[in-house]
Chains A and B, each alone.
Chain A
Amino acid sequence: MMTELSLNVLDVANNSIRADANLIEIAIRLHTKSDLLTIMIADNGCGMTKEQLSQVEDPFFTTRTTRGVGLGVPFFKQAALSTGGSFHMESMPGKGTIVTAVFCMSHIDCIPLGDINSTVYTLIITNNEIDFLYTYEVDGKRFQLDTREFRNILGDVPLNSPEVSAYIKSYLEENQKEVDAELSKTEKQ
């Protein structure tokens, strides 16, 4: 098992990378009133057939050849279901895959989200050929990081150059802090 949900996100997003996606969307949505945390990972990679899709939640199914088990999706699913939440996967060959996991945040078995910024940062700076659209939302207030938008501004300056990656890091941290301020407001009420 993972110690943070953000590690599950990193793991499942790596499936999108292996599926040759060039756009990966990650959305984290917290809704305090309903006590729900929704995590969505969508890609435009090679997708899966109905048959593969039905196998992917089985820990003893994997397409890799280096070992016989594939625990990424089963871990993520178990983490969601053990909080009384839900898990859903949709896929179309040639179109891509969408993974959605819902967590009941106050459930005792809910693993903390953890350092999600570190996950997004790692994905962006080590996958220069892939675009990412990241959304972080708390009770309707949100911020987004769209690497396509960043690339438009940057031209041929790469995202993993020191100056730009430092900017990405603080962009994630500062904007999350501001959106999280919404969370403490609700707590006070």
Chain B
Amino acid sequence: MKTLEELKAIRESMQSQMGLRKESGEQIRVVVGMATCGIASGARPVLNALSDAVQAKGLKNVAVTQTGCIGLCQYEPIVEVMEPGKDKVTYVKMTPEKANEVIDQHLIRGQVIKKYTITEMLG
């Protein structure tokens, strides 16, 4: 059985870093639709790909969260990117692969991937 001892060690090693971490005001929110429609269309792997990549790449200014149904069930899985001071970007029919592209191109380099957005999909 994996025990809680390891967790204590993690706490000790992290507490020393806590003070160094600054809270940046410019939080980017990445929201995944996780209602019945989203989950049935494959939102769970998309959400996990996003949160894994955010952690692996150390993107401290990005918070990945979930939301309910936004009424566009036929376009699920949907990922919304909300950056302070910018228009919301809505990516539709997402996959874990596309999610990783969004991390690299949009969240890191600041380039919206137009071909995956809802505006492009609606024509």
Contact = CB atoms under 8 A, between A and B. Distances in A.
B48 A122 contact: yes
Contacts of A155: 11, 15
Contact of A154 (B7, B35, B40, B44): B7
B36 A163 contact: no
Contact of B65 (A64, A119, A126, A166): A126
Contacts of B11: 153-155, 157
Contact of A2 (B7, B18, B40, B70): B40
B14 interface: yes
Interface in B53-101: 55-56, 58, 64-66, 68-71, 73
B44 A163 contact: no
Interface of B: 1-2, 4, 6-8, 10-11, 13-15, 18, 34-37, 39-40, 44-45, 47-48, 51, 55-56, 58, 64-66, 68-71, 73
Interface in A68-105: 70-72, 75
Contact of A153 (B8, B13, B64): B8
B68 A14 contact: yes
Contacts of B37: 67
A10 interface: yes
Nearest to B32: A126
Contacts of B4: 149-150, 153
Contact of B36 (A11, A118, A125): A11
Interface stretch (A21-29, A131-139, A170-178): A170-178
Nearest to A150: B7
Contacts of B71: 66-67
A32 interface: no
Contacts of B73: 67
